[in-house]
Amino acid sequence: MYITITPQKLGINYSQSSADFVGYLEKENQGLEQQDMEHFFNQYGDEISAEEVVKEIDGNTAKLKKKEPKFYSITVSPSKHELRKLQDNSQDLKTYTRQLMKDYVASFNREINGRPITIDDIKYYAKIEHQRTFKGTDIQIRENQPYATKILQLKTDIRNIEEGRAQGNIRKIQKEISKLEQQAPHQQNGKRIVQGMLKEGNQSHIHIIISRKDASNSISLSPGSKHKASEVEMHGKNVKRGFDRDKFFEKAEKTFDKTFGYKRNFAETYNARKDFVKNPKLYFAALMKLPANEKALAFKMITKTGFPVIPSIPVSQAQIALRVFKRLRRGAEVAIKSSSIGI
């Protein structure tokens, strides 16, 4: 389970409206019949239109400054192992989203009129998507890049020859291009994986857009707060503040496991991924204590999430060299970043 929380982008190329983001989330509906479309939904309603989402989010921004985000985006990406536990991807992920958002509000260390925040205090809309494309940050694209660079240069050479700016054997260059296409380490359906290519298999995931202000449009609720859970005196009163991201990520996993009867492997847990980066010795010590079948699955999951392949499984801490730790941590940081807030 990978969850990211990111604020609305406020650069010069982004408007103050949520329209661009909502429009982006409508991309999979293009060309589909009404009955085949995935619609926005919230805690109590289904088939909410994109126009209503934009109207509600943009109209809930009282007293926010121009440079403050008006909304946040949560992306929830279940692993292929987790998706296999679902009977109906769309309906099951809707059910999970509604439980997840209860975990979200419970992670705020805030009160409204002396009571804890509830699900009715936030304004959010969610949408299920079933496709993903390879991005430049994916390990497949990064490791294929040297081949892509050489292929691009060879294609430029061919164009220069065809247009009379250079001399050479086009057929020979084309054979070299074909060879490089086949040598690229990451292939899908017999083709070199390139940026923008659709990923095969079940890619269902959830996008959630949440208003920065509460449902009454009077209180700011930011999951980007730098304060995990604290109290501060303001105007002579003690005020609670903060959002506990660790608590949210941990509860998100437990809610999924409870809802769908999923048995989570050690390597899949949020806390384990944090240990992998911060204290690899502690991580491997715990990993090596797992039963053989769970340990084998854990190593398989590690390699599938983009961590470097380990040449041999260590049998004791003494055999784990420091250089291996450093190598693993560089790869792990890419994965753990997916489970942290993008503030």
- The model's pLDDT over 71-120, given as tens digits with 9 standing for 90+, comes to 999 999 999 999 999 999 999 999 999 999 999 999 998 888 888 999 99
Contact status, residue 107 vs residue 146, Cβ threshold 8 Å: no
Taking the C-alpha atoms of residue 119 and residue 276, their distance in angstroms, rounded to an integer, is 33
Look up residue 248 and give its two tokens: 């949210």
pLDDT > 60? residue 328: no
* Structure letter (DSSP) for residue 272: H
Query: What pLDDT score does 319 carry?
Result: 44
Cα–Cα dist 275/49, whole Å: 42
Q: Which fold has domain 2-132+200-260?
A: BirA Bifunctional Protein; domain 2 (3.30.930)
**Dihedral sign computed on CA atoms, order 81, 86, 92, 95:** negative
3-state secondary structure string across 109-157:
CCEECCEECCHHHCCEEEEEECCCECCCCCHHHHHHHHHHHHHHHHHHH
Nearest CA among 246, 244, 241, 223 for reference residue 8: 223
Reading the block at residue 60, the tokens are 């809930």
Instruction: In whole angstroms, give the CA distance from residue 140 to residue 165.
Output: 34
Q: What is the pLDDT of residues 149-202, one digit of tens each?
A: 999 999 999 999 999 999 999 999 999 999 999 999 999 999 999 999 999 999
> pLDDT at position 209, please?
96
How far, rounded to the nearest angstrom, does the alpha carbon of residue 152 sit from its chain's CA centroid?
30
Where does residue 325 rank: exposed (0-12), middle (13-18), buried (19+ CB within 10 A)? Answer: middle
E strand or H helix at 210: strand 205-211
The domains of the chain are located at: 2-132+200-260, 139-198, 266-339
What is the pLDDT confidence band of residue 297, given thresholds at 50, 70 and 90?
Answer: confident
Q: Are 266 and 294 in contact (CB under 8 A)?
A: yes
Higher pLDDT, 146 or 109: 146
Q: Lowest mean pLDDT: which of 28-42, 169-183, 318-332? A: 318-332
Q: Which residues contact 40 (CB under 8 A, 6 or more apart)?
A: 25, 47, 48, 49, 50, 52, 53, 125, 126, 127
Average pLDDT, the chain: 84
State how far the Cα of 235 lies from the Cα of 212, in Å rounded to an integer.
Answer: 23
Q: In this structure, what DSSP letter does residue 307 have? A: P
Question: Coil, helix or strand for 75?
Answer: strand
